[in-house]
Amino acid sequence: MKTLAIILCLGAAFVRPICALTPGDLSRVKFEPHPGQQISRDLVFRDETERALKFGDLFGNRPVILVLGYYRCPMLCTMINDGLINALENLRASVGRDFDVVELSIDPDETPAAAAKRKVLYVRRYGRSGAAAGWHCLVGDGKTIKQLTDEVGYRYAYDPEVKQYAHPSGVIILTQDGKASRYVFGVTFNSTELRDALAAAKEGKSASVLSQIFLLCYHYNPITGKYGALILSVVRFASVGTVALMALWVFRLARTSNKRATITG
């Protein structure tokens, strides 16, 4: 009972209704994929060592997995990074050798010290040698962060009541020259999908509009705890179709049984 009480208390803390954001605000929290978009290379951030660097300095001959969020995020960002690391552990390719990971905080008040703590956790969790050289945790000022997030179509909102950000979940795969190649949504990631996305980014390819629509249709919104309207319509349609097929099957079975009874009678 004590354990159950703790779980219920934690659940209540996460779902408490105190919120300054309206449904309209939350509806604008999403990814708007911009495949092929060139990220401005002259945007200046600071890394976990407090070193100022241009975003273009992070690119060379390897693709980059860009992770947007913030380091003090109480739940979602941890889930995203855990999901990413779980998927990366199943790849032959390694961070620092075959591709880089760039974590950027959307909170302009976060510091390089916070970035450094997160980098230690991520690199330790990943556990492969050489990863530290390819795992970058950045912070920046509000204007610079806003420009980058606008370029990649990452929409978020700040809730002053709970002092937290509502933001979408997923990662962006960038080509080795800093163009958006693939958007991978969710908090868990398929290793094969990531492998293929990194391979495409290395060749400088961008996702087609069709594949982006498919991913968005099945995108789960962790903020509202609901699926998008389109996927709900698909699920409802599929449910109705299943019921109809079952009814047709029962009807045919009953009809066949009646025919057999008539023949034997």
pLDDT tens digits, 177-236 = 999 999 999 888 999 999 999 999 999 988 654 344 444 343 444 444 444 444 444 445
Q: How far apart are CA 220 and CA 210, in angstroms?
A: 18
Measured between alpha carbons, how far is residue 140 from residues 99, 143, 150, 213, 244 in Å? 23, 8, 15, 31, 55
Q: What is the largest CA-CA distance in the chain?
A: 91
The two three-digit tokens of residue 262, written as one number: 């008539």
Residue with tokens 């760039």: 102
pLDDT tens digits, 80-110 = 999 999 999 999 999 999 999 999 999 999 9
Q: What is the pLDDT of residue 97?
A: 96
In the chain the beta strands, taken as DSSP E runs, fall at 44-46, 52-54, 64-69, 100-105, 135-138, 157-159, 164-166, 170-174, 180-185, 220-221, 226-227
Strands 180-185 and 64-69: unpaired
Residues 6+ apart with CB under 8 A from 232: 226
Q: Is the pLDDT of residue 140 over 50?
A: yes
